[in-house]
Copies of this chain bind each other. A is one copy, B any other.
Amino acid sequence: MSGKIYGVGVGPGDPDLITLKALKVLKKADLIVYPAPEVGTSLARSIAAKHFPTGTKELVIKTPMVSERFPAFEVYDKASAKISKAVRDGKIVAVLCEGDPFFYGSFMYLFSRLKNECSIEVIPGVSSLTACSASLESPLASRNDILIILPAPLDNSELEEKIKTADSIAIIKIGRHFNRIKELLKRHGLIQNARYIERATMQTQKIIDIEKVDAKSTPYFSMILIHSREKAWL
């Protein structure tokens, strides 16, 4: 019997936004792996937990918060060694990923370490990008629109250059950068088209008028969508 790794996108937060394909993998998995912060619970686990078969083994990858620093290589080295051993023992390993595994996900650091020695399949998931768009009732792009995804931690000069290049802009990972981003959008006349959302499709989802957002409590899982025509269908 040969083992295999699945990188499983579990979707953006609503447990019902998991795919049938992901569910089928969970059902047959011998080991379910997921990231968690050093303190606190795993979001990926909380999204998928109700679909775990009883008795399946679990492995937590405790990762330090690394929004700007280089990923914690040692953590991924150790986790890869454990996963690789399980695969050599013939086990099916499901690695849970919030949203989609390859859309700003940390799964790629396991994938890069294991791809040459293990069979790996990636199950795409609903990303935060389309989840935010659906919840905000703001289509991302139509026809020949250019869509750009910009992480908020980039510095102002880079952001100011890039926001001019696209019809549609998604600014991700807002977190503590909210005020800076808001001022930047004002300077460029884009604030009236900007829509803010946090924790899209989770039970704690909030859509807030961008002028009323409390910058002190803006989480990492937040996004601002802007379409230069206000609505993509125009």
Contacts and interface: CB of A to CB of B under 8 A. Distances in A.
Contact of A124 (B112, B120, B126): B126
Residue of A9, A112, A127, A135 with most partner-chain B CB within 10 A? A127
Interface string A95-112: 000001111110011011
Nearest to A170: B147
A161 B165 CA distance: 9
Nearest to A7: B134
Contacts of A15: 20
Given A9-B134, A104-B145, 15 more contacts: A12-B124, A17-B124, A100-B126, A102-B139, A102-B232, A108-B142, A111-B137, A115-B137, A122-B137, A123-B134, A124-B133, A127-B130, A144-B151, A145-B151, A146-B151
B144 A68 contact: yes
A141 B24 contact: no
Nearest to A152: B144
Contacts of A127: 127, 129-130
Nearest to A66: B143
A110 to B, nearest CB: 10
27 contacts: A9-B126, A9-B134, A16-B19, A16-B20, A17-B19, A17-B20, A20-B20, A68-B143, A71-B143, A100-B126, A102-B130, A102-B138, A103-B133, A103-B141, A104-B145, A105-B139, A111-B233, A122-B135, A124-B133, A124-B201, A127-B130, A144-B154, A148-B166, A161-B165, A162-B165, A162-B166, A165-B165
